[in-house]
Amino acid sequence: MELIAIDSKGDFKEFWKNLGQALMLNDTIVLDKYLDSTVFFYGREDIDPRFELNGSERIIKVREVYLTGGIYDYQKDTSISYVDFFLNVDLLNKDYLQDKDIQQIEDFVFRRNTSGEWKLTGVYSDTKKIK
């Protein structure tokens, strides 16, 4: 596997690819740079708990969601794990909005900060199970 570039500036699709590699390899140094200092976790429904995590806890929970979660592809009538989801550029292209500083790709929210760096800022998941 190729080395991961730690620079999170610029092209979102390159950031996406590198984030997926860092999640797969459990590279906590790179994940620390790719996640915002505080990551918000939102439930599936309005009444579900919401919380935020900082430090290494945010890395642990994001990776836990990555390893255990997924999406349902209604067109193909199949479930796709987040592990496979981060490897599939077609799934990224489905939600990606050109030239926007905020991206919501399925259950993951990303923002470009004032320095031009992309950061994962939020995750939608079953917060009743992961808190």
Q: How far is CA 47 from the centre of its chain?
A: 23
CATH number of the domain to which 31 belongs:
3.10.450
Angle (nearest 5°) at CA 121 between 118 and 123: 125
- The per-residue pLDDT for 10 is 67
* Per-residue pLDDT tens digits of the chain, which is 131 residues long: 444 455 555 689 899 999 999 999 999 999 999 999 999 999 988 899 999 999 999 999 999 999 999 998 888 899 999 999 998 877 787 888 888 999 999 999 999 999 999 999 999 998 876 54
> Is residue 25, in this structure, part of any structural domain at all?
yes
pTM higher than 0.75 for the full model?
yes
Cα–Cα distance, 70 to 99 (Å, whole number):
26
> Is residue 44, in this structure, part of any structural domain at all?
yes
- The per-residue pLDDT for 60 is 96
Helices (H), 26-81: 28-34, 55-68
Phi, psi for residue 86 in degrees, rounded to 5: -70, -15
- The per-residue pLDDT for 104 is 92
Range of the domain at 48: 12-130
Note whether 101 and 117 are within 8 A (CB).
no
Note whether 53 and 61 are within 8 A (CB).
yes
> Is residue 59, in this structure, part of any structural domain at all?
yes
Q: Report the domain count for the chain.
A: 1
> Is residue 5, in this structure, part of any structural domain at all?
no
- The per-residue pLDDT for 127 is 83
> Is residue 16, in this structure, part of any structural domain at all?
yes
Cα–Cα distance, 95 to 93 (Å, whole number):
6
> Is residue 7, in this structure, part of any structural domain at all?
no
> Is residue 66, in this structure, part of any structural domain at all?
yes
> Is residue 22, in this structure, part of any structural domain at all?
yes
